[in-house]
Amino acid sequence: MKACTTEDLRNLGVVGHGDAGKTSIVAAMLYATGMTPRLGRVDDGTAPTDHDEEEIARKISLNITPASLEFKGVRMNLIDTPGYASFIGHAKPALRVCETALFVIDGVAGIGVQTEKVWEMADELIRPRPRFIVINKLDKERADFGTVYNALRDTFGRSCVPLTLPIGAEKGFRGVVDVIRMKAYEFDPNGQPREVPIPQTGRGYIDETHERLIEMVAESDDTLLEHFFQDGTLNNEEFIGGMRKAIAQRVLTPVFAVSSSNLIGVMPLLEAIVDYAPSPADLGAVTARSGIEEESPQVERLVSDGQPVAATVFRTVVENFGKITLMKIFSGNVKSDATLLNIKSGTMERLGPLHIMQGRNLEKIAEAHAGDIIAVTKLRETKTGDTLCDKAAPIYYPPSRYSEPAIHFAIEPKSRADEDKLSGALHRILDEDPQLHYDRNDETKEFEIGGTSQQHIETVVARLQHRYHVEVVLHQPKIPYRETIKGRIEVQGRHKKQTGGRGQFGDCKCIFEPLPRGGGFEFKDKIFGGAIPQQWRPAVEKGIRDAAIRGAIAGYPLVDFRVELIDGSYHTVDSDDLSFQMAGRKAFKLAMEKAQPVLLEPVMNVEVFAPQEYSGEIMGDLNSRRGRIQGMDTKGTLQVVRAQVPMGEMLTYPQTLNSITSARGSYHMEFSHYDELPPHLAQKIVQQAQAEGRVRKDEED
C-alpha cells in the first residue's frame, strides 16, 4: 500500500451501538474493494478487525482496531470501535484522530443507547466531527428503513437526509437508489453495482428527498442559497460541489441504506466517502498546547506536510513480540527511522519502520504524510496518550480523557506462581486499556482493579488466564472506615515494669477530646515545668499515634481528635523513650473506654447522568442507599442528579443503574467526607472485625 498525500486521505471512526454491525461494515468495505480475499464474519472469528481471543470468544469488539483500504486513488483509514457500554469509552480516541464519524445503526433494533452517547462524544470535541450514518442489516426480518430514519430525524435533527434509499425490504432488499445522481443499482454477490431503472413505487418520495438534499446544500453557503432562491434549484456542478462543504459544516448528515452481509449499498457508501468526506486538512488547524502543563498556552497547527512533525499515540497493542504503537500524524512528513521527542517523558524515540495496520497484520510503508494513521513497533518509552514531535518545535496534544472507574474489585493471585506473574501481566493489559486502573490501596493494604463494569473486569480476568496463564480471585474491596470519639475525657497512662536491674517507667496525664470532622489529629504539650523532661514528651505523642492507627473498636484508624499532655512523672534511672511511648498507648486505651468511640464511613459526591424520564427512579434508589439528594441539573439531553451517598452503598450501583436506565445512564463519584455510621451498621462492622481478629489487645495487656 502506498503513502497518500493529505488530500487523498479519509479517516473514519466507525461507531455506534453494540451489534449494529460496525465490524461487519468494515469487513464488507475491505472485501468490496479487494483488500481481503473473503468477506470476514464476526460469528466465525474471521472478521479482520476482531482478532483478539476475547473478542472472538465473546463476538464483540473490546477495543479500537484500524484497517485501511484504497479506492479510486483515496486511502481510507477505518477505526472499528466497541459498541457495548462497558467499552464505549474507547470510541473517544478514535473520534479524536478521525475527521469523520461513521455511525452504524441497526435497521431492526434502531438507534440504540450507545449511539446517542457517541453522538455526544463527537459533539464535545473541540472540532465537532462531521458524520455519515449507515442503516445496516436491511435484509433482516422486521428491518424498516423508514422507521429508523424517522427516529434519526427525531433524535438528531433535520440534517439527517438519505443519500441512498432502499429498493425492496427485508429478504427482498436488493438495491439502492442514489438520490444525488438519481440512479438505481442492484448488486452482485461481490458487491459490484449494476444500474437498473428507478422503481416507480415510491418515486414521489425519491424526488422529494432529492429536492430536500438540494435545499440542505444551499443552506451551507450564502452564494448557493442566493442561486437557489433565484432559480429554485442548483445546477449539478453547484449541487455536487456544495455537498462536501455542507457535510463538513454539519449542515448535512448523509444517511445510507446498506446490508453488510449481502454487500448491498456498500459501493455507493464508499464512493460518497471519497467524494464528500473531509480530508484531514479540510477541517482547519488542530488545537494543541505548547507544553504538557495544563496552563501552557494553546497553539494551533495546520495539518500539513509543511509544518514540523507531530503525532499523538491513541492506542498501544501488546503482542508476543512486543508493543505496536498506533499514532495519528497531525503535521509534517514522517519517514522510516525518524527520531522524535516524546514531550511528556523528555526522551528521544527512534521510530524504525512505519506500517499501515490491517487488523492484526502490518504492512510496511516508506513514509507517511500529515493526517495519516500509522503503526510503529517496539517503542521503548512511548505510551498511549503521548505526543511525539520535532525537538525544535515542541507541541503537545492532550490525550482523550476516560471516565473514572465505576466499579472496583480487590484482586489476589491464586498461588505463589501466579503472584510472581500477576503484576507484569496486568501492566501489559494496562498498556492496552487506559480505562483499566490497578493500584495498591495503602489503607486497606489490598491491590484493587477498577473498570467500567463487571463485564469489563471479567474480560481482564479472562485475558490474564488465557494470554498470560495467571489465575486470580476477585472480591469486593474493603471500605476504608475510620474511627473517632464523641466525648472529652481526662486519663492517666502509667507504665511501670521491673524485671531486675534497670526497669521501665513512664507516666503521663492527658486530655482526649473530639475535633470537627476532617480535623485529623492534634497533640498539644501543656506541661509547665519538668513533670516530664522535654526529650520524652514526643514519645508520648508517638505512642498515642501508633495506638490510633490500630483504632479503638474495629481496627480502623482513629481520627479527628486532640490530645493535651498536661502532667506526668518520671524516674531518673528507669525512664526512657520507650517507657513514655508505652505510657501514651495506655493513656489512649483508657481514654477509649470512656470517650464514646464511634465508626465513621466515607461519603461520596455522586453525579448520575441519565435521560429525564429516569430521574424519579434514580432519586428513589439513591435515597434507599442512604443518599442525600443535593440537586438536579440539565446537561444537553440528560438530567444530572447530584447526591451524597456512603461508599459502602455504592459497591453494587453500576448493575442497578444499568437496570433502571436500560444502560442509558452513567455516573461519576469522588470522595467528599467522613460521617458517622449508624449504630446498627457499626455493630455489624465491629462484630466482623472481631471475627477476623483485626481488633488486637495492646502489647502490655
DSSP track, 240-278: HHHHHHHHHTTS-EEEEE-BTTTTBTHHHHHHHHHHHSP
CB count within 10 Å of CB 493 equals: 25
Task: Read off the pLDDT of residues 141-181 as tens digits, 9 standing for 90 and up.
Answer: 999 999 999 999 999 999 999 999 999 999 999 999 999 99
Q: Is 295 exposed, middle or buried (0-12, 13-18, 19+ CB in 10 A)?
A: exposed
- Grid coordinates belonging to 74: 483515496
Beta bridge partners of 509: 492, 567
| Mean of all residue pLDDT scores within the chain | 91
Q: Is the pLDDT of residue 567 over 90?
A: yes
At residue 225, the pLDDT reads 87
- Grid coordinates belonging to 582: 508505652
Cβ density class 592-619: b for 16+ within 10 Å, e for less: beebebbbbbbbbebbbbbeeebbeebb
Closest CA to 233 of 249, 251, 216: 216
Distance CA 346, CA 556 (A): 42
From the options 3.30.70.870, 3.40.1440.10, 3.40.50.1450, 3.10.20.30, give the CATH code of 407-475.
3.30.70.870
Q: Is the pLDDT of residue 636 over 70?
A: no
- Grid coordinates belonging to 527: 506541661
Q: Express as a percent the part of the chain with pLDDT over 70.
A: 98
Mean pLDDT of 200-219: 91
CB count within 10 Å of CB 173 equals: 23
At residue 637, the pLDDT reads 67
What would the CATH number be for the domain defined by 599-682?
A: 3.30.70.240
At residue 229, the pLDDT reads 87
From the options 3.60.110.10, 2.40.50.140, 3.30.230.10, 3.40.140.10, give the CATH code of 482-595.
3.30.230.10
Yes or no: say if 334 and 345 are a contact pair by the CB < 8 Å rule: no
Q: Is 468 exposed, middle or buried (0-12, 13-18, 19+ CB in 10 A)?
A: middle
The four Cα atoms 149, 150, 153, 159 give a dihedral, to 10 degrees, of: 50
Residue 409 DSSP one-character state? E
- How much is the pTM? 0.79
At residue 126, φ and ψ (nearest 5 deg) are -55, -40
At residue 700, the pLDDT reads 41
List C-alpha distances in Å: 554 to 5, 69, 364, 551, 696: 67, 63, 62, 7, 9
Distance CA 138, CA 110 (A): 11
In the chain, where are the structural domains located? Answer: 7-205+252-276, 286-389, 407-475, 482-595, 599-682
Distance CA 160, CA 130 (A): 12
Q: Is the pLDDT of residue 701 over 60?
A: no
Q: Is the pLDDT of residue 697 over 80?
A: no
Q: Is 26 helix (H, G, I), strand (E, B) or coil?
A: helix
Residue 579 DSSP one-character state? H
**What is the pLDDT confidence band of residue 698, given thresholds at 50, 70 and 90?**
very low
Q: Is 632 helix (H, G, I), strand (E, B) or coil?
A: strand
CB count within 10 Å of CB 378 equals: 13
Yes or no: say if 89 and 403 are a contact pair by the CB < 8 Å rule: yes
Helices (H), 181-253: 203-219, 222-231, 236-248
Q: Is 241 exposed, middle or buried (0-12, 13-18, 19+ CB in 10 A)?
A: middle
At residue 27, φ and ψ (nearest 5 deg) are -60, -40
Task: Read off the pLDDT of residues 496-520 as tens digits, 9 standing for 90 and up.
Answer: 998 777 899 999 999 999 999 989 9
Distance CA 640, CA 644 (A): 13
| More confident: 528 or 641 | 641
Architecture in CATH of 286-389: Beta Barrel (2.40)
Helices (H), 453-576: 454-466, 537-549
Residue 170 DSSP one-character state? G
At residue 199, the pLDDT reads 93
At residue 669, the pLDDT reads 80
At residue 345, the pLDDT reads 93
At residue 699, the pLDDT reads 42
Q: Is the pLDDT of residue 538 over 50?
A: yes
Instruction: Give Cα 119 distance to the centre of its chain.
Output: 15
List C-alpha distances in Å: 701 to 201, 546, 586, 634: 95, 16, 9, 59
Task: Read off the pLDDT of residues 519-536 as tens digits, 9 standing for 90 and up.
Answer: 999 999 999 888 999 999
Q: Is the pLDDT of residue 69 over 60?
A: yes
At residue 9, the pLDDT reads 96
At residue 233, the pLDDT reads 82
| More confident: 363 or 231 | 363
Mean pLDDT of 287-296: 93
Q: Is the pLDDT of residue 592 over 90?
A: yes
The answer to whether the 407-475 and 599-682 domains have the same CATH topology is yes
Yes or no: say if 436 and 408 are a contact pair by the CB < 8 Å rule: no
The CATH superfamily assigned to 7-205+252-276 is P-loop containing nucleotide triphosphate hydrolases (3.40.50.300)
Yes or no: say if 160 and 190 are a contact pair by the CB < 8 Å rule: no
Please count the residues of the chain.
701
Helix/strand/coil percent split, the chain, to 5: 30, 30, 40
Closest CA to 90 of 14, 11, 9: 14
At residue 696, the pLDDT reads 56
Q: Please report the DSSP string for 545-565 in residue order.
A: HHHHHT-SSSSSPB-SEEEEE
Distance CA 178, CA 167 (A): 11
Q: Mean pLDDT lowest for which of 277-281, 402-406, 456-460? A: 402-406
677-685 CB contacts, 8 Å cutoff, 24+ apart: 677/481, 677/598, 677/599, 677/600, 677/601, 677/646, 678/626, 682/554, 682/598, 682/599, 685/481, 685/554, 685/599
